[in-house]
Structure 1
Amino acid sequence: MKPVQGLHHITAVASNPHKNVEFFHTILGQRLVKKTVNFDDPGTYHLYYGDEVGTPGTIMTYFPWQHMRRGRRGNGETAAMAYTIRPEAMGFWQSWLKKNNISTGEIQTRFGADVLPFTDPDGLPLELITSNAPATLRHWADGPIGEKEALHGFHSVTLWLDAVEPTGKLLTEQLGYQFVGEEGNRFRYQAEANDMGIIVDILRRPGQPSGQFGAGSIHHVAFRTVDDAEQLEYLQKLRQAGQQVTAVQDRQYFHSIYFRSPGGVLFEIATDAPGFLYDEPVAELGTHLKLPPWLEQHRPAIEARLPEIKLKPIAKATP
């Protein structure tokens, strides 16, 4: 069975949709490729950001539950996520984030790469990590960031766990990852694909408090499979290994199965197909509120509950 190809998408929680859109779309230069609702809570948006077309491995998604209390980082969760940038773009991002009143930490070194830490408006830890690794994506030319400086999809996620081995075993034996090294209490696992978003780091923190879910927390991490047939193979394999895996869920732009890792982190396996062009052409991605067929009859009530999101004209960043 083919190993998973790396990260498909990452879903987090925000408290304010307007600040969220301003941050990702206007400052980080990630296109708002889909504006829909949380299918399980249709009074809340589900916002998707990515490259020009929402290529798997670039897709950051948010549930903006308004007025939700800020979460607290701790064990049993995905505590940080990272984007890849080219090494020569680091100076640009330091200057650009400062210009937009976003505080950054000191540049760190991790496995030989430079790491620039900062947070989203709700305190979710984000990182920009330098790499020249391949990235199969489509640059959003109409966005604020030039192609040389733009984010090159996901680099990695960092899990905070009491113990490394149980989740490490799941990654290597069930999902096809390889253990590739450790630095201090950080253990790195890498997918076999030669593309973006292939790294999962586990930070071992024995005996530390558990995280408290809220705004600024990552809800789940999704891994890539090509199609439905491959996903079903994983569903069967994971269940045979004793994982409690959900039935396949129709998420309109991909199909999903969910399960908890031994450390408590919610994982998903999502299909690449059908993608975000399923119900909008490239030029109109993210400009309409899209609802699945089973919610379309409730559109007037749903629209009445949702705050209006208007995309502002985007100014080009200057390196």
Structure 2
Amino acid sequence: MKAILGQHHVSAMTGDALKNLRFYTEVLGMRLVKKTVNQDDPSMYHLFYADESGTPGTDLTFFELPFLGQTYKGSSSISRTALRVPDGALSYWLERFFEFGVLHDPVEEVLGRPTLYFEDEEGQRLCLVEGGSGTPRKNGPVPADVAVFGLGFSEWTVRRIEKTERVLTDVLGYRFTSEFERNGQSVRVFETGDGGVATEIHLVDRPDLPSERPGRGSVHHIAIRVEDDDEMARWVERLDSFGISHSGLIDRYYFKSIYFRELSGILVELATDGPGFATDEPVETLGERLALPPFLEPRRAEIEAKLKPL
């Protein structure tokens, strides 16, 4: 089997799609590449922010649940999502965060990489990490030479770290690379594929914490990259061989998916790289109209009538 390629997307929750859209496109300068709905509950928006063309590994997505309460932070959670920016970009972002009143920490070194921890308006836990290059949004409010261009590491806070480690290494093929301390907590780092920050999972062991009660600003699941349909079929067999309960193969139209919970309760999705977001609209106009997969298209009028226009 081929190795997991790293992060595919991270899906979080918001209580206000319009406020969310403004923050991620106007403050963070990411591109809205797909305005669609939750395929399992089309009464809610599903918004995808990414690089210029929605490349796998660049998507931060949000489900809108208007009546969602606050998050009560804890373990069994994806507790932070990193976004990559070019080397030397964080001085710009410090000024920008001051300008827009974004809650943030001072810049610090994490594994030798300058990193800026911050939260959005709903308490979504994020950070910017310097390193690498990509194809950020064109003609956005943030200059391309300092703009967000993709996902970085995913931090998980867990209560049963040994069991989560076994799933990462024995089932998914990740490898342990290093350990560091932040805020008095040990963080264990695992990577896959060719390595690098876009492939890393950071595990924080917190058996003392209750499980997180999700709400506004929490993460629903992380998706990791599988190359194609043939590899996905092999992953179905592999999960079965380990006795891991999973969703079976689901066609999300823009990619194929399998969902399962690792042993600390975090929801993990395996997702194929293709066919991609340009399947039903040109790259030049991604995110401008409500996109619906074919099985929901006959219900367009009904669905649009229930959504607040963005």
TM-score, structure 1 length as denominator? 0.93
User: How much is the aligned-residue C-alpha RMSD, in angstroms?
Assistant: 1.3
Tell me the residue number matched to 1:317. Answer: none
> Does structure 2 retain, via aligned residues, the 8 Å contact 1:153–1:196?
no
Tell me the residue number matched to 1:139. Answer: 136
Amino acid at match of 2:120: D
Instruction: After TM superposition, give the deviation of residue 172 of structure 1 in Å.
Output: 1.4
Runs of 4+ that moved beyond 6 A:
none
Tell me the residue number matched to 2:167. Answer: 170
Tell me the residue number matched to 2:124. Answer: 124
> Does structure 1 retain, via aligned residues, the 8 Å contact 2:30–2:136?
no
* Equivalent residues in 2 for 1:153-168, closer than 5 Å: 153-168=150-165
* Equivalent residues in 2 for 1:56-205, closer than 5 Å: 56-131=56-131, 133=132, 135=133, 137-184=134-181, 185-193=186-194, 197-205=198-206
The alignment partner of 1:87 has SS state of coil
Amino acid at match of 1:117: Y
Which whole-Å CA distance do the structure 1 matches of 2:120 and 2:103 have between them? 10
* Equivalent residues in 2 for 1:1-319, closer than 5 Å: 1-131=1-131, 133=132, 135=133, 137-184=134-181, 185-193=186-194, 197-309=198-310
Runs of 5+ consecutive residues of structure 2 not aligned to the other structure? none
> Does structure 2 retain, via aligned residues, the 8 Å contact 1:245–1:259?
yes
Instruction: After TM superposition, give the deviation of residue 223 of structure 1 in Å.
Output: 0.3
TM-score, structure 2 length as denominator? 0.95
Amino acid at match of 1:44: M
> Does structure 2 retain, via aligned residues, the 8 Å contact 1:118–1:126?
yes
The alignment partner of 1:109 has SS state of strand
Which whole-Å CA distance do the structure 2 matches of 1:296 and 1:152 have between them? 31
Which whole-Å CA distance do the structure 2 matches of 1:119 and 1:208 have between them? 21
> Does structure 1 retain, via aligned residues, the 8 Å contact 2:14–2:65?
yes
> Does structure 2 retain, via aligned residues, the 8 Å contact 1:181–1:187?
yes
Which whole-Å CA distance do the structure 2 matches of 1:254 and 1:191 have between them? 21
Which whole-Å CA distance do the structure 2 matches of 1:248 and 1:175 have between them? 17
> Does structure 2 retain, via aligned residues, the 8 Å contact 1:178–1:192?
no
Deviation digits for residues 75-121 of structure 1 (CA, Å, limit 9, x no counterpart): 10101101122331110000012111212112233222222111122
Which whole-Å CA distance do the structure 2 matches of 1:189 and 1:43 have between them? 37
> Does structure 2 retain, via aligned residues, the 8 Å contact 1:57–1:196?
no
Deviation digits for residues 154-187 of structure 1 (CA, Å, limit 9, x no counterpart): 1111100113221112111222211001113100
Which whole-Å CA distance do the structure 2 matches of 1:279 and 1:271 have between them? 17
Q: Alignment length, in residue pairs?
A: 306
Runs of 5+ consecutive residues of structure 1 not aligned to the other structure? 310-319
Instruction: After TM superposition, give the deviation of residue 195 of structure 1 in Å.
Output: 6.2
The alignment partner of 1:294 has SS state of coil
> Does structure 2 retain, via aligned residues, the 8 Å contact 1:54–1:276?
yes
Instruction: After TM superposition, give the deviation of residue 196 of structure 1 in Å.
Output: 5.8
Which whole-Å CA distance do the structure 1 matches of 2:52 and 2:282 have between them? 11
Instruction: After TM superposition, give the deviation of residue 147 of structure 1 in Å.
Output: 2.0
Tell me the residue number matched to 1:314. Answer: none
> Does structure 1 retain, via aligned residues, the 8 Å contact 2:122–2:217?
yes
